[in-house]
Each structure stands twice: as structure tokens, then as C-alpha cells.
Amino acid sequence: MTSGSLDARQQCPPGHLVSGSRQHARAFSSSCLRVQLKVDGTRGKIGHVPDLLRTAPDEGSREALDRARTFAAGGRELGEARAPVLLRRRVGAARAPAGERVNAPAPTVTAQPWGHTPRGEPVTLYTLSAGPLSAEIMDYGGVIVRLLAPDRSGTREDVVLGHDRLEPYLDRATSPYFGALIGRYGNRIAGGTFTLDGQTYQLARNNGPNALHGGPGGFDQQLWAGHAHAGPAGAVLELTRRSPAGEEGYPGTLDVTVTYTLTPGGTLDLTYAAHTDAPTIVNLTQHTYWNLSGDARRDILGHRLTVNADRFTPVDATLIPTGEQADVTGTPFDLRTPQRLGDALAQHAAHPQLGHAGGYDHNLVLSGGEGQSGDLVHAATLHDPQSGRVLDVHTTEPGLQLYTGNFLDGTITGKAGRRYDRHWGLCLETQHFPDSPNQPAFPSTVLRPGERYASRTRFTFGTAQEEGALTG
């Protein structure tokens, strides 16, 4: 099957669709967007959705065209079918009854204008759909604005915190990294300074005495170039950006590509790649606040979390690692078996490490991640017993920053007028360790010319059949 593509430089109103069926790929467009169309390997016409709706040569194409009609009517699919109840399986993996054929919708991508940056640059919101999942991602900050995943009954709801419009994302007071790409350096650097090859670099101190998440003008506050396409493997959004030498104080020009892939099998894959023309430091991550309850209807204290980590990096009062990699046994960070977050926070409320951050805001050293072989290792499993939703995280990174939304205080109103109070979301940030440039015993974050930065993280969505129990 062939596919069409959408480019951020070519604006497209909602309702114009890139889609395909098992044997046909169709790209729907108007003159505002150039999209190649191929049917059975033959180049076809570029047409407007209403014109194409009049022709449907076979059942697969009619199915794609029906979905195009719903997009044309309102920008998103209507009357979504409920997924089957799953028993600790990836969503979308259910088998059809004997003799029944399942015609799963082909992956699709749409794009629509979503306002302008303070510099007047147009922002594009992409909608990726594949299998049971749908994600809205914008090219400003690479933000995951919305991600719909089914609960145990098949009801799809949003599982990330954020806003319904662009403007709140432009200010960290109203969007503390909601859903954003983080760089050049995710997490904290002590004193906002580091030394590389004998030269000392000073960064902005935007988190007390320290640098945090790339500084005031980090990657979350930048417009990226977007290119999206859909095919059999999934719906894909590729974001690229050149970070010039000296931006936020970092040396070297850094060319970065981050690829989001939503697959029919119920996964969201993130691939990071970068190269530089001068020695620099790089630590990229994704700062989505997860809440599996659905549409953020309650806090995450009832979620159960497992982290595949035997050690963690203790921090000082400013949340900078001390350099130690401590055993988790007997500490709040022993999450090797499922722990209800509310119980863990209450039980260890007097622990000095939780006192420093008002909860969890710590790096855990992933077991099996030390070798940096490039293979995905299991990092964490998050489960909301009430909805049945399960999120599994795999990564090539050696660490995972667990942040339980300690600094949310109810002053931010998010999507659908929902107020985000303390512990209303949690972040699972795959990463190298905080302050690695100043910690020789930590895995290196130095990138040199001729080397290539490469990192992968996979988020797999599923459900558990019964409340309070995961089954294999």
C-alpha cells in the first residue's frame, strides 16, 4: 500500500485527509495542499474531498471515503466503534471470532492551522490515528495535545493533561512543559554551568540556582518543521529543527529530528536523532503528564506504578543529584512491584527525599539500561484500576524521571475547564541522568562531531480485565 504525506509548510484545513485501506491509499486534499495520490501503483488525481466522495470503486475504498466524509464534516471521526474488552493485551490485538473478518481502519493523518506564535509564525496541529489510538500533536514544542485511548469497555478518552487552544502553551506559567519535547538538555544542570574540553559554559538559571529543561527558550518553546504521512506501519509525524550554536548557552550547532509514530498495534513510538558540528551535550526527552482515568476526571493517586529500577539517584534540596546511585530497598523508590501512588506518598511522607520535591521528582536507574546497547528495555508500567487502562514504557535510555505533578496547585485550568490540582498527572521521562555533565560517574551526555545521538522510547497502551489486577 502506498501513502500520501502532509507538510507543515503547506497549510490544510481540517477535513482534508490522508488515508488508505488494505489495498488502496488515498490522499484527499484541495489546492491548498499538495499530496500525491496513488491507487494500485498508478498516479491519480489530486482532488477535493467532496469530489472524491462520488467515486468508490471497491469496499475498501468506500470505507476510506466514508471516513473522509466524517472528517470533511467536522475534522474528526464520529461514532467511533468501541474496542473489544482486552485481558492485559495491547489494545488492537484482539482476535476476531471464527469466520468474522476485522476491517480495521487504515492509519490516517490530518493537519489544521492552530494559531500563531508570538513571532507571527503559523502553528499546525496534526491528528494521527492508528488502530485504537488517536493523538493530536502540534509543531510548536512538539507538544502532545491530546491522546485518546480506550478503557476496558472500549470507551476512548484523553489520557494527557493540556489545553484546548494554543495560547496557554506559550507561557510556562499556564503550561509547565505539558506534553512537550525537552532539550537541549532535559532535567537539571547544577548552577547552570558545565565544563567541556576545558571550556566552561554558563546557561540560564531558570530553576532556582540551576538550569532546567534547556532554559527559558528550550525546545518546548520553539517551532519545529513538521512532515507527516500515513502508511501500513502507522501514522507518522517527523519534526526537525536546527538549534544554532550558542542557543541558550549551549555550544555547537545541533540538528535534531524527533519522530512520533502511532501504530495499529496500540503503541506510540518516539525516535530521537541528532548530530552536531562541535562538541556539545544532549539529553532529549518528552514531558507528557499522564492521567489514565480518562479526560483527567480524577487525580493519579489511585494509579498503580511499577518501575524496573534497583537504584535511584538521591538529590539535594535543589534537586541536583549527589552523585550516589543508591539501592531502592526500603525507600520510597522501591517500585519494583506495583505500588498505589497515594499509598506510597502517604507511607513515606516523612522521607527527606520526598520532602525535597514535595513528592516524586527523581531519576531511577533502569535495570538493564546500563549497557546502552540500543535495545529497548522495560522501564515502567502504569495502571489505573478504575478505568482498566495500562501504559507500558520501554526505552533505550538508562534513566527514568518520575514526577508526580507536585507543583500543580489548582491555578491552571486545562482542557474542558478541568482544574489541575496537585498530583493530577505524572511524568515518566526517559533520559540520561540529571547533571551528568558535572557527574563523571554518570553515563556521558557528550556528543561530538561525527557521532550520532540516537534514542528510542515506546509507550504501549492496553487494558486490564478486572479492577485491581493485571493478568498475563
Q: Which residue in the list 24, 163, 275, 287 is annotated as catalytic?
A: 287
Half-sphere exposure at residue 300, Cβ-oriented, CA atoms within 13 angstroms: 34
Cα angle 108, 112, 113 (rounded to 5 degrees) comes to 160
Cβ atoms of residues 161 and 169 within 8 Å: no
Cβ atoms of residues 392 and 89 within 8 Å: no
Strand 309-313 and strand 280-281: pairing? unpaired
* Sign of the CA dihedral running 377, 182, 129, 424: positive
DSSP label of 53: T
Q: What residues form DSSP beta bridges with 113?
A: 124
Q: Is 287 a catalytic residue?
A: yes
Q: What's the count of helices (H) and strands (E) in the chain, helices before strands?
A: 4, 35
Cβ atoms of residues 345 and 359 within 8 Å: yes
Strand 17-20 and strand 339-340: pairing? unpaired
Q: What residues form DSSP beta bridges with 207?
A: 210
Q: Which residue in the list 63, 229, 429, 432 is annotated as catalytic?
A: 429
Residue 25 CB neighbours (<10 A): 26
> Residue 128 and residue 267: Cα distance in Å, rounded?
12
> Residue 434 and residue 357: Cα distance in Å, rounded?
15
Residues identified as active-site:
287, 429
